[in-house]
Amino acid sequence: MKYPHPIIAREGWPFIALALVVAIAVQVYAGWGAALFFWLVVVFMIQFFRDPPRAIPADLSAVLSPADGRVVVVERARDPYLDRDALKISVFMNVFNAHSNRSPVDGEVRNTWYFPGKFFNADLAKASLENERAVLWIKTPKGVDVTCVQVAGLVARRILCYAKTGQQLARGERFGFIRFGSRVDLYLPLDAKPRAAVGDIVYATESVLADLP
């Protein structure tokens, strides 16, 4: 699913079409005053499902942000999927961020996991292990392991992960989408050097979160 692709994510087309039909119907039968709220819903849907192309940094050692949002974690942690100590970097997405998820590195998808779970606020630490989530284990051409986890949030009720075991992903390649608020966790080797700090606003593909050894 490389570029070019629609500026409005195809995952959102049914939602936008439904909101548009409802807004038009209400306006026709009840007028502008009654339809205003529904037109605002249309605008919200369009901004939520926007999926703009992004420039990919040239540095091959750079770990790119897999999502738009705010960095909420940069710390040493246990990678529960590969059973290792790791550098964990988490990006929280609110409902006003673009929600396409893109590969942080070049590499082969060595395995994928899906875990049903709860829907706590994705800004909370416990969301990483208790919420619904989809996991990618990516091995770079240099043999470095990167774990990328899509985590559902309080409002998010649908994680879409299209990557499959054995697939080759390119940096910045679109691999999934999370609907309506969520987070993405990255687990990197301990000797990776973070370039993002808690509170930073980052953009998928364009922002560098860390450098791999």
Interval 164-173: pLDDT, tens? 999 999 999 9
Q: Note the pLDDT of residue 108.
A: 97
| DSSP letter, residue 69 | E
Query: DSSP labels for 156-169?
Result: --EEEE---TT-EE
Catalytic residue numbers read 182
Query: Which residue type, as a one-letter code, is found at position 58?
Result: A
Answer for the pair 40, 34: CB distance below 8 angstroms, yes or no: no
CA distances from 173 to 3, 100, 124 (A): 8, 10, 28
Q: What is the mean pLDDT of the chain?
A: 87
CATH number of 62-211: 2.70.70.10
- Banded pLDDT at 126 (limits 50, 70, 90): low
The pLDDT tens digits of the residues spanning 61-116 come to 999 999 999 999 999 999 999 999 999 999 998 888 888 899 999 999 999 999 88
Distances from the Cα of 11 to the Cα of 25, 134, 176, angstroms: 23, 17, 10
1 — pLDDT class (breaks 50, 70, 90): very low
Domain boundaries, the chain: 10-48, 62-211
